[in-house]
A and B are shown apart, each in its own frame.
Chain A
Amino acid sequence: MEILNYTEQHRAFRERVRGFLEQEVIPYADEWEQSGIVPRSVWKKMGEQGFLCTGVPKAYGGAGADFLYSVILTEELTRTGCTGLAAPLHSDIVVPYISSFGSEELKKKYLPGCVSGDIITAVAMTEPDAGSDLASMGTTAVEDGDHVVINGQKTFISNGLNCDLVVLATRDPDVGNPYQGMDLYLVEEGTPGFEKGEKLDKMGWRSQDTAELFFRDCRVPKANRLGQKGGGFMMLMDKLQPERLVCAIMAVASAEHILELTIRHCRDKLDLGRPLLKGQGNQFRIVEMATEVKLGRTFIDKLIADHMEGKSVVVEVSMAKYWTTEMAQRIADGCMELYGCDGISEGFPVARAWRDARIMSIFAGTNEIMKGIAAKFMGL
């Protein structure tokens, strides 16, 4: 019995996505790693194929498709080894803030562009002094007539350079309790006072345009607020479940992919005259890794099913994010070891996979925060 019921349509969709990525992404992945950004034209092509925001309702230009389509896209994109095309972030993490909490006008104005690839989105929460401790953020939004005036700085923002629209977390300095004073505003690129910083130089995810964002007396219409005034923190909490689930899906997919490549490498690579795969020690090592990957797969497939049934699985998703992202790093590490001296060279895919894996236990809430959330919701 399958945990997830993929239909023929789902399978056909996966084939179509894979074919597209093989033609439009994989051949350019190395080039984008060098340039540190993915060209907008690829986002546009993704949109034309109907690969962005598949979950957005038809009324706003989307396909109104189920979450499995998002899962398929996330898995297939992960398999390309191209981290820069952060479509899962856009489609399954940022845009749902707009579709779930945006006013009718905001939805009409922005969602069709998000689906078509004309609008690339980012979400900005982290600040230099507010990482795990989100409530301590210093970016303020002060009401002034029909507008709010925003001042502050965000950092480590994925799609930071390509983004046309930012879901920006701010706080109202007049509200004492930081959890009640938080709001999310949609800020368009080009709004006076909103500036993008330099691209950040990172260990991995090098084709991803991660940047700082600056807001200086940036005037944004009050109508660009998502949800009720003061509801920012609750909205963030609400969307963390899918965000962390997407992370866990990426982690498992990346582990599956790199292990597959490594097994292929060990089949061909000779050591003392016989393939690496023929040594019992190496075989057992691979079996151990494959076991971990299968445990991860089974766990997240169950969580995907639960999430699709609308269950609240905050504890399990926190566990999955922590465990799968560390598992993915153990696998990348074990694969490096099997590659041996070849693993040192960036010419083999394992080195990049290893570098890319390292951020997963930090972004979308560090694994320490994941354990904290699980502890809290387990009533410990």
Chain B
Amino acid sequence: MDFSLDREQIAIQQAAEEFARGEFDPEAALEHDQLREFPSEIWKKACELGFIGVHIEEEYGGQGFGRLENAIIVEAFCRQDSGIGIALALSDFGSEMLLMYGSEEQKKKILPRIAQGKGIITVALLEGGYGLASFSTTLRKEKAGYVVNGEKSHVTLGGLADYLLVACQDDPDDTASQSVVLVENGARGVDVASMGEVVGMRMLPWNRIGFGLVSIPPENIVGEDGKGMAQVRDFLNEMRIEAGAMGVGIAQGALDMALAYGKKREQFGRTIVTFDAIRNKLADMYMETELARLVTYRAAWLFDNGNPEPRSALLAKAVGAKAAYRVTYDALQIYGGFGYMKEGHIERFYRDAKVLDLFLEPARVERGFLADEVAGKRA
């Protein structure tokens, strides 16, 4: 058993931390959060330096690294700034599905653009709930190709994405037959609308996307016709590890901030870090963060070593998001009234942590999936 990162991984971690420290300006982050702006400039720089899409194989313009290296970068980014970190991490949301199931042509055409910062990809999955048994968005076969019809909600980066991977129902009567299709944003019939104000993860547009009889050629089917749900499950499984890494980063960042504040803030003639009330919180925060890091790294390592087991990925997301939530909660309490102010920055971490908790699926749904893993599916 060896829990240490190798030299290359440590170098990646240091480079990512250095980049984040140098480029993620807190005041700019405050503004991006307030105005709901994607940090385009930082994203472009991150792409230039090879931080985005590191898991994409070299022949498709990436670095050919694994989930673990991806997790290390996402953690470092979110540690410095929850909002910018999440926004950058989700700019390649869906590249994993293309890597796993896309055709050679799809991969060659799209993946280099994602890694180079020339394009953004996202996945249109939810329809207002988490029920993944069937979709109301349909895919109908026509003479020359296919037609997509329906509406998706909660599509992150939907408005900025160039490529949309859309989960569709093949046949309304056959609940087991779904397909994922590639739709280029801007195609006729694609109608992107804002979902309005959101409580966290505000640097990404959250969109509702209507597909009004959108025609797509047969080569835009991603993976196998009719096997879409299994592909979506595999993709979500992989994404849970990344979400876990976001949680680890947010938690660590909040712990860093709370510790620095506690050492500086004086009350009753001494720094507040000398009080048990604060010290015990810091100890709890450390426990939560380390626990989340361990399960997330382990899930990533298992994935990279040919064992993408769902239970480990679920654990990473559930524990990671919960750690982010609890640690930011405590950090905000340590900050006191200042923590509730936008200028304190910690409230932004706290809001992003809460939305991370609901991202992909909320804990109650994760619990159900985990129960299936532990107790077996209900007959």
The finding on whether chains A and B are genuine partners in a shared complex, rather than unrelated, reads yes
**What chain A residues lie within 8 Å of B201 (beta carbons)?**
344
* A203 touches which of B131, B133, B342 (Cβ 8 Å): B342
Complex contact B358–A343 (CB within 8 A): yes
- Residue B22 CB within 8 A of the other chain: no
**Which chain A positions have C-beta within 8 A of B275?**
368
Question: Which residue in chain B gives the minimum CB-CB distance to A341?
Answer: B154
Q: Is the CB of B130 within 8 A of A341?
A: yes
B277 contact set on A, CB distance < 8 A? 368, 371-372
Q: Which single residue of chain B is at the shortest CB-CB distance from A156?
A: B337
Cβ contact within 8 Å between B358 and A132: no
Beyond the given A202-B341, A337-B357, A368-B333, could you list 15 further A-B residue pairs with CB under 8 A, ordered by the A residue number? A130-B267, A131-B336, A133-B268, A201-B341, A202-B347, A203-B351, A271-B130, A272-B131, A340-B362, A341-B130, A344-B200, A351-B198, A358-B332, A362-B339, A372-B277
Given contacts A344-B206, A371-B277, contact A337 B364 (CB under 8 A): yes
Known: A344-B200, A346-B199, A366-B336. A281 touches B368 (CB 8 A): yes
Q: Which of A281, A329, A344, A347 has the most CB of B within 10 A?
A: A344
Q: Give Cα distance in the complex from A133 to B267, angstroms.
A: 6
Nearest CB of chain B from residue A12's CB, rounded to whole Å:
37
The 3 closest A-B pairs by CB, nearest first: A346-B197, A272-B131, A133-B267
Give, as a whole number of angstroms, the nearest-CB distance from A358 to chain B. 7
Interface membership of B363, Cβ < 8 A: yes
Which of B153, B196, B339, B358 lies at the interface centre, i.e. has the most chain A CB atoms within 10 A of its CB? Answer: B358
Query: Binary interface profile of B, 328-345, with partner A (CB < 8 Å = 1, else 0)?
Result: 010011001101111100
Given contacts A281-B368, A347-B196, contact A359 B362 (CB under 8 A): no
A204 within 8 A of B: yes
Q: Does B160 contact A (CB under 8 A)?
A: no
Bound form: Cα–Cα A81–B363 in Å: 26
A361 interface contact, C-beta 8 A: yes
Whether B133 contacts A272 by the Cβ 8 Å rule is yes
Query: Which of B196, B278, B337 is within 8 Å of A345, CB to CB?
Result: B196
Question: Cβ of B362 and Cβ of A345 under 8 Å apart?
Answer: no
Give the distance to chain A from B108, nearest Cβ to Cβ, in Å. 34
Residue of B nearest to A346 (CB): B197
Count A/B pairs, Cβ under 8 Å. 128
With A271-B129, A341-B128 as contacts: A126 and B197 at CB distance below 8 Å = no
Provide the residues of chain A in CB contact with B351, threshold 8 Å. Answer: 203, 355
Interface contact A203-B340, CB-CB below 8 Å: yes
B358 close to A336 (CB less than 8 A)? yes
Per a CB cutoff under 8 Å, which of B200, B268, B333, B365 touches A366?
B333
How far is A375 from B376 in the complex, measured between Cα atoms in Å? Answer: 48
Q: Which bucket holds chain A's interface residue count?
A: 35 or more
Whether, in the assembled complex, B141 has its beta carbon less than 8 Å from a beta carbon of chain A, the answer is: no
Q: Does A282 have its Cβ within 8 Å of any Cβ on chain B?
A: yes
Instruction: Flag if A340 contacts B342 (CB, 8 Å).
Output: no
From residue 272 to 295 of chain B, which have CB atoms closer than 8 A to chain A? Answer: 275, 277-278
Tell me the residues in window 330-380 of chain A with beta carbons closer than 8 Å to chain B beta carbons: 333, 336-338, 340-347, 351, 354-355, 358-359, 361-363, 366-368, 371-372
Tell me which residues from 243 to 277 in chain A have a Cβ below 8 Å from any Cβ of chain B. Answer: 269-273
Q: Are B357 and A269 in contact (CB under 8 A)?
A: no
The closest CB in chain B to the CB of A201 belongs to B342
Give the CA-CA distance A29 to B199 in the complex, in Å. 17
The smallest beta-carbon distance between A367 and chain B, in angstroms, is 8
A294 interface residue (CB < 8 Å to B):
no
Does B42 have its Cβ within 8 Å of any Cβ on chain A? no
Q: From residue B356, how far is it (CB to closest CB) to chain A in Å?
A: 10
Bound Cα distance from A368 to B364, whole angstroms: 30
Residue B304 interfacial (CB < 8 Å): no
One of B200, B347, B364 near A338 (C-beta < 8 A): B364
Question: Does chain B have a CB within 8 A of A15?
Answer: no
Which residues of chain A are within 8 angstroms of B358 by Cβ–Cβ distance?
336-337, 340-341, 343-344
Nearest residue (CB) in B for A350 is: B199
B266 within 8 A of A: yes
CA distance A133 to B341 in the complex (A): 19
B43 within 8 A of A: no
Q: Could you tell me which residues of chain B, from 112 to 164, have a CB within 8 Å of some CB in chain A? A: 126, 128-131, 133, 153-154
B12 at the interface (CB under 8 A from A): no
| A354 B354 Cβ-Cβ under 8 A | yes
The answer to whether A344 touches B355 (Cβ under 8 A) is yes
Distance A202 CA – B348 CA, assembled complex (angstroms): 10
Chain A, Cβ-Cβ closest to B195: A345
A226 → B minimal CB distance (Å) = 24
Kindly provide the distance from the CB of A203 to the nearest chain B CB, expressed in whole angstroms: 4
Query: Is the C-beta of A129 less than 8 angstroms from some C-beta in chain B?
Result: yes
A106 at the interface (CB under 8 A from B): no
Within 8 Å of chain B (Cβ to Cβ): is A200? Answer: yes
Q: List 29 A-B contacts (CB under 8 A).
A: A130-B267, A133-B269, A200-B341, A201-B341, A201-B342, A203-B340, A270-B129, A281-B367, A337-B364, A338-B364, A340-B129, A340-B362, A340-B364, A341-B153, A341-B358, A344-B198, A344-B358, A345-B196, A345-B198, A345-B206, A347-B195, A351-B198, A355-B351, A358-B332, A358-B340, A359-B340, A362-B339, A366-B333, A372-B277
A336 touches B337 (CB 8 A): no
Distance, CA A31 to CA B287, complexed state (A): 42
Residue A58 interfacial (CB < 8 Å): no
Chain A residues with CB under 8 Å of B199's CB are 343-346, 351, 354-355
The residues in B between 355 and 379 inclusive whose CB is less than 8 angstroms from any CB of A are 355, 357-358, 361-365, 367-368
Interface check A285, CB cutoff 8 A: yes
Distance between Cα atoms of A363 and B267 in the complex (Å): 16
Inter-chain contacts of A354 with B (CB < 8 A): 199, 354
- Decide yes or no whether B93 CB sits under 8 A from chain A: no
A136 in the interface (beta carbon within 8 A): yes
Known A132-B267, A271-B131: A337·B362 in contact at CB below 8 Å = yes
Which residues A271-316 have CB closer than 8 A to chain B? 271-273, 281-282, 285
Pick the residue among A204, A345, A368 that contacts B340 (CB under 8 A): A204
Let me know if B131 and A362 touch, CB within 8 A.
no
Chain B residues, CB < 8 A from A155: 337
B350 on the interface (CB 8 Å rule)?
yes
B290 shortest CB reach to chain A, Å: 23
Q: Is the CB of B129 within 8 A of A341?
A: yes
Residues of the B chain whose Cβ atoms lie less than 8 Å from the Cβ of A358: 332, 340, 347, 350
**Cβ contacts under 8 Å, B364 to chain A:** 281-282, 285, 337-338, 340
In whole Å, how far is A2's beta carbon from the nearest beta carbon of chain B? 35
Q: Which residue of A lies closest to B365 (CB)?
A: A340
Residue of B nearest to A133 (CB): B267
